[in-house]
Chain A
Amino acid sequence: MDVNEIIKPENLVYRKPTLLNDNTMHYCPGCSHGVAHKLVAEIIEEMGMMENTIAVSPVGCAVFAYNYIDVDWIQAAHGRAPAVATAAKRLNPHKLVFTYQGDGDLAAIGTAETIHACNRGENITIIFINNGIYGMTGGQMAPTTLEGMVTVTCPFGRKPELNGYPLHIGELLAKLKGTCYVTRQSVHTPAAIRKTKKAIMKGFENSMNKKGTSVIEIVSTCNTGWKMSPDKANVWMEENMFAEYPMGDLKNE
């Protein structure tokens, strides 16, 4: 059978979301960003929100998220995405405004902006990729790096007496009155992807229903930074990252 006989609309069981364009992604093979991007594109499309979406990209690997998802984007300074999104939402209250940030951006340099946007209950959704490392700059220690985990700036493993402890920013944010939904998910299995999709969709709906801030933490792999094969990174994540950062809702109001 010729391949063109197989590729017919009536045979279609799955397609890439139309808002995810054909630009070649700069992400490493095995990286979680690709799946997370696909989910975001898919949800905006399904919700019919393209014309009313303002997305905010961070500094870090996802800085170029704007190259792949065909909605309007604002690229924020390092850590400042929640402040940028605050204004975008307050000035455009009927639009869907979300940030997409990594752990260094959200939980180190941008901790103040993150906490205060959540504490004000800004009607935005924060998608938080937690892979315990700085990917873009070459694998340095992040606030969420695990104890004993090796990075190029803690080459003998993270030591609490020198580097403090893995930061549970999700738990911190769940304590704030301004957040309505804080959940921790992953995208390493089809089941996990389905759950994360529901979580992001719920976050976006919360934003549109003015329920407060939603935080969707996605515990992710950085197999390049972790210096592992994608398969091994998934296993390592389940065994180590999930032990420190357990899956599930931290808050759901």
Chain B
Amino acid sequence: MSEEVKLMKGNEAIAHAAIRSGADGYFGYPITPQSEVMETLMAEKPWETTGMVVLQAESELAAINMVYGGACCGKAVMTSSSSPGISLKQEGISYCAGAELPCLILNVMRGGPGLGTIQPSQADYYQTCKGGGHGDYRLIVLAPASVQEMADFVNLGFDLAFKYHNPAMILSDGVIGQMMEKVVLPPFRERRTEEQIRKQEPWAAQGRTPDRARNVITSLEMDPVVMEQRNLKLQAKYAEIEANEVRYETINCEDADYLMVAFGSMARIAQKAIDLAKEEGIKLGLLRPITLWPFPSKAIAEAAKGKKGVLVAEINAGQMIDDVKLAVNCSLPVEHFGRLGGIVPSPEEVVAAIKEKLM
């Protein structure tokens, strides 16, 4: 039976997809522009159907540490927030990465710095892809560009998180969170039973059985020799993720003189710019990274070959451009276009930037 096409906000799609993904728990704290996630979950009452726990925490700190606690038990748990709240969660995210815990975090980005604005932004690219919390760690970062991808990336995020025992983040923004589009929700997946969790996640804190030693979930290790080994193991895992999990989309790249690189909502705007530019005889292509980490460096280098220049369009002051420059290694001009402070650029501005900066 094919699922019904529904119209809903990106934030609502996340909530419905979470229930259907077999998630065990959601822990959140209200912040615009993502509050519909928890509002929708509370209205849906999944504890009466799938048994999923939904809890409003007293702070973002508490919420991410509830995620930590749930993940330690081998449960599929998630949280969501927006930029200032994600800053507060960084300690817990680092702990999750350090303890190699699978979990899912949604950031519906708004403009900063500080309390900033509630309007859309992509200014948390550095925070998400270059650290955020302390220590040498990586998050698996998925950047949805549609409401459908918001729904789809819940399952994908959980699957990657459990495959690699690593936190995954869906890096969205106010445009994708607040807009409504058609969406077909993913089919229901069963929540795992305690027996399944004990079997599939033998590392988890589920209560020690006599046949094994105690499980201790911690990121702490006082012996630097052992701690270095733990770090090297993390790095080996990250290398494996980089080798296996790069995802991206290309639009019109073969037939283009100029390449644009943009993610999330900005990629949608850049796509419209391709059409507008075509009317003026300018041939643009777009590479949209779907995973921001691992970053599609090779694909960008390939797509940039033979082009006259690259425009990196981001709703920030220039963050992903660093990775694009590294990818093409100074082989052609790479310029940035962005708007700040919660202003969402128009497709016309993107075309103007191509003309001004690259032609």
Contacts and interface: CB of A to CB of B under 8 A. Distances in A.
Direct contact of A and B (CB under 8 A): yes
Interface string B60-98: 011101111110110101000000000000011001000
B55 interface: yes
Interface stretch (B36-44, B112-120, B177-185, B204-212): B204-212
Given A86-B62, A113-B65, 11 more contacts: A54-B72, A54-B205, A70-B208, A77-B92, A80-B65, A83-B63, A83-B66, A87-B53, A87-B68, A87-B75, A91-B53
A63 B220 contact: yes
Contacts of B99: 75
A73 B65 contact: no
Given A52-B207, A83-B61, A87-B77, A75 B25 contact: no
B66 A86 contact: yes
Contacts, number: 127
Nearest to B222: A64
Contacts of B331: none
Interface in A69-122: 69-77, 80, 83-88, 90-92, 95, 112-113, 116
B220 A90 contact: no
Interface in B145-202: 194
Contacts of A91: 24-25, 53, 70, 73, 75, 77
B214 A113 contact: no
B215 A72 contact: yes
Contact of B55 (A70, A74, A86, A92): A86
A95 B215 CA distance: 15
Contact of A88 (B58, B205, B220): B205
B67 A87 contact: yes
B216 interface: yes
Contacts of A73: 205, 214-218
Q: Please indicate which of the listed interface residues A69, A83, A87 has the most CB atoms of chain B within 10 Å of its own CB.
A: A87
Contact residue range for chain B?
Answer: 35 or more
Contacts of A113: 58, 61-62, 65
A57 B219 CA distance: 12
B59 interface: yes
Q: Which 8 A-B pairs have the closest CB atoms?
A: A84-B69, A75-B218, A87-B69, A80-B65, A87-B66, A116-B58, A72-B205, A83-B65
Interface of A: 50-54, 56-57, 63, 66, 69-77, 80, 83-88, 90-92, 95, 112-113, 116
B263 interface: no
A90 B205 contact: no
Nearest to B91: A77
B57 interface: yes
B208 A72 contact: yes
B51 to A, nearest CB: 10
Contacts of B61: 80, 83, 112-113
Given A50-B208, A77-B91, A90 B62 contact: no
Nearest to A76: B65
A112 B207 CA distance: 27
A91 B194 CA distance: 10
Nearest to A113: B62
11 contacts: A57-B218, A66-B218, A70-B213, A71-B207, A74-B205, A77-B92, A83-B65, A84-B66, A87-B65, A91-B24, A116-B57
A71 B57 CA distance: 27
